[in-house]
Amino acid sequence: MTVAVLTGIAFVLVLGVMVGAARPRRSSGVSDFYVAARAVPPWWNGAAISSEFTSAAACLGAAGLIATRGGPMVWYPVGATAGFVVILALVVAPLRRSGTYTLPDFAEWRLGSAGLRRFTTCFVLVIGLAFMVAQLHAAGVVVRLLTGLPPWLGWAAVAAAALVVAFAGGQGSLTSVQASQFWLKLVAFVGVGVVCWWMGDGRPLTGFEAAYGAGAAGPAGAGDTSLPGVLTVLLACALGTMGLPHVIVRVYTNSDGHGARRSIVATQAMLAVFCVVPPLYGLLGHVHVSGAAPDEIVLLLPSRLAPGTLGDALTGVLAAGAFAAFLATTGGVLVAVGGAVSTCLTRAGVSSFRTAVGLVLLASLVLTAVSTPQSSVALVLVGFSLSAATFCPLLVLGIWWRRLTDAGVAAGFALGGGLTAVLVLGERAGVKTGVLSANPAPVAVPVAFAAMVLISLVTPGRVPRGVGRMMAKMHLPEHLAGPPAYRSSHPSSRSP
């Protein structure tokens, strides 16, 4: 099995590096590195978004929770996918027309505050690190479980490949890698799942109604089977998707608002197809794999059904698909967060982008080394919850309400993000206040919205000048709003 697994992992990582480094059009400027020169076709962009969204949590964690906790967990993939409906309805085209590179860029452009941009960057960094640590820990689990090698080899392999791709061409190189690997993941997981279903002789259909282990919910409500618990997770996913830095940056890679909308529609179609993967493996895992941790169930399934050469080969294919997921999400977060950090701390440019990417990757490796492996779903849900309580109100109010002020946004971030952190950390420390302590989104999101509105109303003098022009630029079609003017935070990266 070790040979098959290592072969599959090596194939995916080497293929990713080759695709990323061999782009037909070499990156030559800031916009190439940050937003792929805004020239990505909608369906190609949709495949890239789908690839980085189907992370370790979607490929391994959700299926494991379905296997161990039962039917209510089937809603998790649906809730995450529903977030793109919210993006399509409220955010995508106006945000693309704003002409900014990143979420901190949008905050500074819309509210006119460099201090707010730095504050926003801190939240981008925290959310991004939560996603990256989840991917790196999952890579370690795959390597340790299937080969017996130290987990850090899995972290190092994913980190090195992601770094090479990011340095080669930034968002442009990464788009090529992610879009191609989405189809690789889909074929690998669906193909192996169908073979395992055939070998299982259809028995999951009779075993799915059996009793499931109760167990305690993880951070951010992961695995809570109660109706309130499931609903709070769905709320966090639906509202948090719009603020994920590696997802929302994709809005800027299309040529215009219409193309951005088409990208999100394509993403919804592709994720709808991929949504069959977690329930399929959850059903199979519940019957054929018992006693394993949720993130391990998918990986152990082929060897339980077909011990020997066939099982080893199928496990190698699954390992390849899993590492494709790790690389796509790690690379996406790395480029998005690195771009936000670089334009905040230094002058926007290729060298500062690469420096920031290296620092962000180093921070994620350090956090992975000093932390214990957690459920990938739990870590990802922490990122969703924090995003829902901070960037969701910023984007909704910033796009649709002209009276928003920087003081209001700062207050909303402090209260929404702070409340989320307090409740999640308190729950981990054993302080139980019911379902809301496990998943704070139903409390933190309304608090953040209320704080932004109330503080903005009492600070009307801080409404930025030219807010009418900003609103017109975001809501009028490009041919009516005038020529595009792209804004990072620095004059050196703005187009005339």
* Residue 146 belongs to some domain of the structure: yes
The predicted pLDDT at position 493 comes to: 43
The model's pLDDT over 191-231, given as tens digits with 9 standing for 90+, comes to 999 999 888 765 544 545 444 444 555 666 666 777 888 88
Q: Residue 71: CB partners within 8 Å, gap ≥ 6?
A: 208
- The 10s digit of each residue's pLDDT in 84-123 is 888 888 888 888 888 777 889 899 999 999 899 999 999 9
The answer to whether residue 152 sits within a structural domain is yes
Across 2-6, 211-215, 267-271, 449-453, the highest mean pLDDT is recorded for 449-453
Q: Angle, to 10 degrees, between the axis of helix 277-288 and the axis of helix 151-199?
A: 80
pLDDT for residue 343: 78
Q: Is the pLDDT of residue 125 over 80?
A: yes
- Structural domain total, the chain: 1
Q: 3-state SS of the chain: helix, strand, coil percent to 5?
A: 80, 0, 20
Q: Are 50 and 332 in contact (CB under 8 A)?
A: no
Instruction: Give yes or no for a contact between 298 and 138, defined as CB atoms under 8 angstroms apart.
Output: no
Residue 402 lies in a domain: no
**Quick one: average pLDDT of 258-267?**
86
CA 172, 364, 116, 258 torsion-angle sign: positive
Provide the mean pLDDT of the chain.
83
Which pLDDT tens digit goes with each residue over 32-80?
666 656 677 888 888 888 888 888 777 888 888 888 888 788 888 777 7
Whether the pLDDT of residue 494 is over 80: the answer is no
- Strands of 56-115, DSSP E: none
Containing structural domain, residue 123: 2-374
Asked if the structure places residue 470 within a domain, the reply is no
Q: What is the 3-state secondary structure (H, E, C) of 235-286?
A: HHHHHHHHHCHHHHHHHHHCCCHHHHHHHHHHHHHHHHHHCCHHHHHHHHHH
Residue 316 lies in a domain: yes
Let me know the angle formed at the C-alpha of 130 by 349 and 389, rounded to the nearest 5 degrees: 95
pLDDT at 294: 84
Answer yes or no: is 387 within a domain.
no
- Are 395 and 243 in contact by the 8 Å Cβ rule? The answer is yes
**198 domain-assigned:** yes
Residue 466 lies inside a defined structural domain of this protein: no
Listed residue (222, 206, 294, 258) closest to 45, CA to CA: 258
What CATH number is given to the structural domain containing 35? 1.20.1730.10
What is the pLDDT confidence band of residue 29, given thresholds at 50, 70 and 90? Answer: low
